[in-house]
Amino acid sequence: MKNRFYRFLTAGIDSKHDIALTRRLVLISSLLTMIMVLFSFFSLYNLFQQKWLLSVMDVAGFAVSAYAMKKLQLDKNYRFAIRLVTLALSVFLISFSAVNQNQSYGLVWTFFYPLFVFMLEGRKRGVQFVLPFYLILISLAGLGIGEWQNGEWDLTSFIRFSIASIVMAYVCYFSEMAIENSHAKLEEAKEEQTRLHNQRTQLMATSVAQKSQVLADISHDLRTPLSILKMNFELIEDEIYTDKQKVFTNVWKTFTDFEQLISQVSAAARSDEQFFCNQRSPTNLVEMIASITEAQTRAVKYKSMQLYFVVKDKNIVVDVDPDNLRQALSNLIDNSVKHTHAGGEIHIAVLKFSDKITIEIADSAPGIPTEDFTLVFEPLYRADDSRNRATGGAGLGLYISKKIIEAHGGKISAANSTYGGLKLTIDLPLLQKN
């Protein structure tokens, strides 16, 4: 029963997601039903009162209302029904006022006009009906001074009616404005809710995809050293190796890579900054970087590269966790050595300012796309599709370095290098002397 009544009020039009449309449909259906009942009653009443003209007007109003109801309920054309009812109300009330001449205070019916029109047509379009309606009606009322209401309609009555009509139209206009603003804010809230829901769904899907990618990447990176170990042990088992020391060197290097990968995965999983700067102590930054570059000498020579380390002040001291910061800088320099083309160059500079220390690591080609400058510090980022650990790595080094540097109160950024490659800039707080 409730569903049938609701379908009648909404004319069977789907408006669940549009509150403003639902409000208009309920209003036009209810108003048409009420108007048809009123016209039926007053047509019979005026007929018995022998007010033939009013009775004919009521019958005409009933016919128009019935046609509008048919267009609404059967044809689902609610816009046509609303427009027809608005026009019919305008014509009927003006005609009724001219004929009735406020007998039995018939002008009271006109006060409902702006209420229904603004609710049906909306604030902006409703003004196009209300203004001409009251211009005509107030003009008629002015011409009827001394004649309407059996001559009792005087100037005072006219002024009261005019002011009451204007106030009623004013109140209805701004009430509809408030309702429309409420609807607009509600729609904005619904759109925001939908956007947040879609964003949350997208984030969940992205998270699942990232987890799957992490598992796939880590599995691949674990499989590579295991495959190397298996191959070397097969050589030992079959005793077909030619250089026993080289085999054991490869095994040891593979174990080292294996251990490094596990350490990186473990470090990447840590979320507490305290873990990355747990044991601070005054540390000579220049000496630390010098030892790191010295450890890269063999790799640099193997690729026929040039590594330049420029520093003006060799006594630059910072308050850091030396082990973790060394790991961060080693990752960054190692990344540059691995990805710079053979015959290229790497420039490392340490600059001292009044409030910070800046470390710049700039290399030659290849570089990375500008849009990847922020992505380069994301976990598992790779500038190419290579899965070779000799060049691709686990994709965690820069991510871990960023976490360590930020844990020390510093920051890191990427940009294009003047040498054709990538430039990494690290800012660290300067140790303040007491």
Contact (Cβ atoms closer than 8 angstroms) between residue 261 and residue 255: no
Instruction: Identify the burial level of 121 via C-beta atoms within 10 angstroms of its C-beta, where 0-12 means exposed, 13-18 middle and 19 or more buried.
Output: buried
pTM of the model: 0.48
What DSSP string runs through 81-149? HHHHHHHHHHHHHHHHHHHHTTGGGGGGGGGGHHHHHHHHH-HHHHHHHHHHHHHHHHHHHHHTTTTTG
Instruction: Examine residue 366 and say whether the peptide bond preceding it is cis (omega within 30 degrees of 0).
Output: yes
Type and span of the H or E element at 181: helix 155-238
Angstrom distance (rounded) from CA 10 to CA 178: 23
Per-residue pLDDT of the chain (434 residues; tens, 9 = 90+): 677 887 887 878 887 777 778 888 888 888 888 888 988 998 898 888 888 888 888 898 889 888 888 888 888 888 888 888 889 889 888 988 888 888 888 899 899 899 888 888 888 889 999 999 999 999 999 998 888 888 889 999 999 999 999 999 999 999 888 888 888 888 888 889 989 999 998 888 877 776 676 666 666 556 656 766 777 677 666 666 666 676 677 677 667 666 666 766 666 566 555 667 778 889 999 999 999 998 888 889 989 999 999 888 888 888 888 888 888 898 899 889 988 999 999 999 999 888 889 999 999 988 888 888 888 887 766 655 433 344 445 567 788 888 889 888 899 999 999 999 999 999 998 765 43
Supply the Cα-derived Rg of the chain in whole angstroms: 42
CATH code for the part of the protein at 277-429: 3.30.565.10
User: What sign does the dihedral 87-92-97-99 (CA atoms) show?
Assistant: positive
| Identity of residue 281 | S
Angstrom distance (rounded) from CA 376 to CA 372: 6
Instruction: Measure the N-to-C terminal CA separation of the chain; round to a whole number of Å.
Output: 84
- For the chain, the domains span 2-197, 210-269, 277-429
